[in-house]
Structure 1
C-alpha cells in the first residue's frame, strides 16, 4: 500500500465524520454547493461530488499533491478564493487552516463566500497529533536512512524515493521536527492546535460554533507503521493516545 493510498484511507474516514454535518445534497430542487479548500489530490472532493453535491475544489498550484490529482482542482493564490460573495452552502477544509499564513484574513475570506445559513466544516490537527508526531519523528528518520542505504527495487504509485536534503532547512527538518503549520514553533503548536485556541480564533471572527468533536483516529506525521496499523486499531488507539484531528462545525 502506497503512502498516498494510506492518506486517502485516513481522509476518507475523516470525511465521513464531516459529511454527517453537511445539509442534504438537494433541497427544493436545488443542488447544494460545497467548496473544498486545500483539496490536495481531489480525493475528498470526488467523494463529496459522488454524494450529490455541486463541489468546487481549490488548492495552490505548488501543492505537493498537484501531480496526483484524481479530480478537477482549481489553482488559486492561497489568499483570495476564486468565487463570488455568498457562493457556497458549505465550506470544507481538511488539515489546511494551520498552513495558512494570514489565518485571520482568510477566516474572513471564508465568511465572504459562505451563503447565508451556510456552514463551515474544518478538520484540524490536535495537540495529541503534535506531541506524538514529535516523538515518532525519529522512527521516520531511521526508516529514511535505511531506505537511502537499501533503496527498494521499485516504488508504488504516490511514493517518492528519499532524497538527500539540499538546504539548511531541509537538513534541520530531517534531524529535528520543525513546526507543522505557519504559526509559532514545534512546542507552541501544542497550544495553537488546541480546541480552546481554535474556538477562540473562530469566535473572534464572528463564527458561531455548532459542534466540535474528535475525528477518532490516531496517526502521526511520520506514519512510521503505515498500513501495519489498520483503521480499526487506530480508532482504538485514539481512545488512549488521543485523536489526531478534531472536527469544527460553525455558522456565521
Structure 2
C-alpha cells in the first residue's frame, strides 16, 4: 500500500466536505487513523479532537494527536461538539445503531454529522479485481521467500482502501488472505455488502436512529481496495472513470434531530 497516495485520497476527500462544516466549530473525528484528516480540519480553522481504537493499524506515523477508546463509548461529555466526522469508519462498527446514540449524545442540539462511506461500486470492483490482486500477491510472496532471511510480506491491513486482508499471521493464514475474498465491514459477506454499502441502506439507518439526512453525494473518485496504479493514475482520470465505473465513496451530511416532528 502506498501511504502517500492514501494521504492524497484522504486530503481530496476532506476538501469535498470542508464547506459543510460549521465555521470555526468544535469537531470530533471518529476512526482518525493517522490523523491526517484531523490535521487538515485543524489547519482549516476548526477545534479538532480525534479518536480511534487501539488496534486501528495506522499505516504510517500519526500526524495529529489521536485518543484511543474502546470503540463503543465516546470519551467526551454530552453536547460537546458542533460536528462529528468519520471517513470509511461506520461500516466497521458492529453495534451501529447503538453507536449512533453515542454520536448524538456528544453533539450539540441541531449539530451535524458528516460521514464518508464506501459504495456498492467500490465493493464490486474490489471483488472483480481480486484475481489480479491474487496474482500480484503470489509474485510478492514468492519473491519474499527467495530472499535470504525473509518470508512473504504480510497481507494488507483491513483499511477502507485495502479490504482484502485482515492481518492474520502464519503461513496458512497468509494463503487464506490471498485466495479468499473477504468482507470489508461488519455485516454480511463480500456479495451482500453490495446492499449494506448502498445509499438506500444507509439513509434508512440514519433516519431511524435520530438523524435528518440533509444531503448526500458521491466523492467522484474511482479507486479500489487493491490500490492498483496508485499515483500513476491521475485525478482527472479517476474523475472520468468514476462517471463510468462508479465513485468509491459517498458522503452523507446529517443533522441531529431536535424533536420528533422535524
With normalisation by structure 1, the TM-score equals 0.89
Instruction: Identify the match of residue 93 of structure 1 among 75, 86, 98.
Output: 86
Deviation at 1:146, TM superposition (A): 1.6
Q: Distance in 2 between matches of 1:176 and 1:115?
A: 44
Relative distance call for 1:228 and 1:37 in structure 2 (3 A) is: same
1:187 has 2:191 as partner:
yes
* Structure 2: stretches of 5+ with no match in the other structure: 145-151, 156-168, 257-262
Instruction: Identify the match of residue 230 of structure 1 among 215, 230, 234.
Output: 234
Structure 1 match to 2:17:
18
Q: Distance in 2 between matches of 1:136 and 1:66?
A: 22
Q: Distance in 2 between matches of 1:84 and 1:103?
A: 20
Relative distance call for 1:77 and 1:195 in structure 2 (3 A) is: same
Instruction: Identify the match of residue 243 of structure 2 among 214, 234, 239.
Output: 239
Q: Distance in 2 between matches of 1:213 and 1:86?
A: 27
Do the aligned residues in 1 keep the contact of 2:28 with 2:50 (CA within 8 Å)? yes
Deviations along 1:164-208, one digit per CA (max 9) or x if unpaired, are 852765533321211000111111100000000000000010100
Structure 1 match to 2:210:
206
With normalisation by structure 2, the TM-score equals 0.86
Q: How many residues align?
A: 236
Alignment of 1:11-50 (within 5 A): 11-25=10-24, 32-50=25-43
* Structure 1: stretches of 5+ with no match in the other structure: 26-31, 152-160
Structure 2 match to 1:29:
none
Q: Distance in 1 between matches of 2:47 and 2:173?
A: 40
Structure 1 match to 2:4:
5
Q: Give structure 1 regions of 4+ aligned residues with deviation exceeding 6 angstroms.
A: none
1:52 has 2:56 as partner:
no
Q: Distance in 2 between matches of 1:163 and 1:245?
A: 26
Q: Distance in 2 between matches of 1:170 and 1:149?
A: 12
Instruction: Identify the match of residue 178 of structure 1 among 182, 197, 202.
Output: 182
Q: Distance in 1 between matches of 2:132 and 2:184?
A: 17
1:217 has 2:208 as partner:
no
Do the aligned residues in 1 keep the contact of 2:26 with 2:82 (CA within 8 Å)? yes
Do the aligned residues in 2 keep the contact of 1:61 with 1:75 (CA within 8 Å)? yes
Q: Distance in 2 between matches of 1:182 and 1:170?
A: 21
Structure 2 match to 1:143:
136
Alignment root-mean-square deviation, CA: 1.6
Relative distance call for 1:169 and 1:199 in structure 2 (3 A) is: farther
Q: Distance in 2 between matches of 1:234 and 1:180?
A: 22
Do the aligned residues in 2 keep the contact of 1:136 with 1:224 (CA within 8 Å)? no
- Structure 1 residues 242-251 or 109-118, which shifts more? 109-118
Three-state SS of the structure 2 residue aligned to 1:92 is strand
1:109 has 2:108 as partner:
no
